[in-house]
Every structure is written in C-alpha cells, then in structure tokens.
Amino acid sequence: MAAHGGAGASTLAAVFGGVDTGRSWPRPDRGEPDGVLLVARTHAAGLQAVSRTLDLFRRGEQPPGLELVAVALVADAPGRLPRPLQQRIKVIGSVVKVHRVPWVAAWRTGDLTVPPPRETAELAALTSVPPARDTHVRSNR
C-alpha cells in the first residue's frame, strides 16, 4: 500500500510481486492480503505520510484484520540522505521493520528488467520473489 502518491508501490509490486492497492487499504474480502507493506519515498513528505499511517495502526484505527508487516522506503534521489531524514527513518525503524530500496535509475525510465539491488533481498523474501544474483539485465523479462 502506498503511503502517498508516487511512493513507488506499483514499481515494487511489478519488480517483486505482490498486490498493489495504491493508496487504498487492502481488502482481504476481495482476495487481497491482510498484511500491509507500507511504501513511501525517503523525502520529508513521504516519511511524514508513513508516520501518519503508523499512528493509525498505533491507535488501532486501521481496517479490522489488517496487520502492518513492514515499511519499504524507496530512495527519492541518488546519494546519501540528509541527516534529518536519516534520523526520521531511525525513529520509524524503532517501531516497525524498515526495508530500504536504493535509487535505481533504470526504474525511473520504466525499465523494470534490471535486477533488483542486492540490498532488497529481505524485501523480496516478503513476496517470495528472490532478487537476481548478478547485475546484468535479464533477457527473459
């Protein structure tokens, strides 16, 4: 589930599998999962959106039967994050498992054939699709 527009949930679902519910809560009664992988960008607005959704779970205001599995934070730009954003991620990580997805330039142009970064192996395991072991473009996609 995307925490905000442009979070990268559609890209992650295309690359790793899973169900992209957009910004809507999953509907287990329609065959969607009851576990939520909350996706956001690593910019300030994205991290604020994660915090708001985490607060809903903390207060028990999410739809009944839904469980927050983890948060996937997709890099909003190449390079290191500014310290205030790193600190915000640390706070988020103190209450929920956080998976970081580094910048993938090819994904920006819509090329989802490049193998996912090695750093995403744990995230890929959540949807049972292992990441590639090499850094070459797969020809079978």
Tokens of 53: 């959704």
CA distances from 117 to 2, 29, 84, 124 (A): 20, 33, 25, 10
Assign domain 9-126 to its CATH architecture. 3-Layer(aba) Sandwich (3.40)
Nearest to 95 by CA among 64, 68, 121: 68
- Written as tens digits, the pLDDT of the chain (141 aa) is 999 999 999 999 999 988 899 999 999 988 888 999 999 999 999 999 999 999 999 999 999 999 999 999 999 999 999 999 999 999 999 999 999 999 999 999 999 999 999 999 999 998 764 444 433 333 333
Tokens linked to 120: 């995403």
Note the Cα 75 to chain centre separation in Å. 10
Is the pTM of the predicted complex or chain greater than 0.85? Answer: yes
- Per residue in 12-35, pLDDT (tens digit) is 999 998 889 999 999 998 888 899
User: What is the separation, in whole angstroms, between the first and last Cα of the chain?
Assistant: 24
- The residues with which 40 forms a beta bridge, in sequence order, are 73
Position 82 scores a pLDDT of: 97
Phi, psi of 108 (to 5 degrees): -60, -35
pLDDT at 127: 76
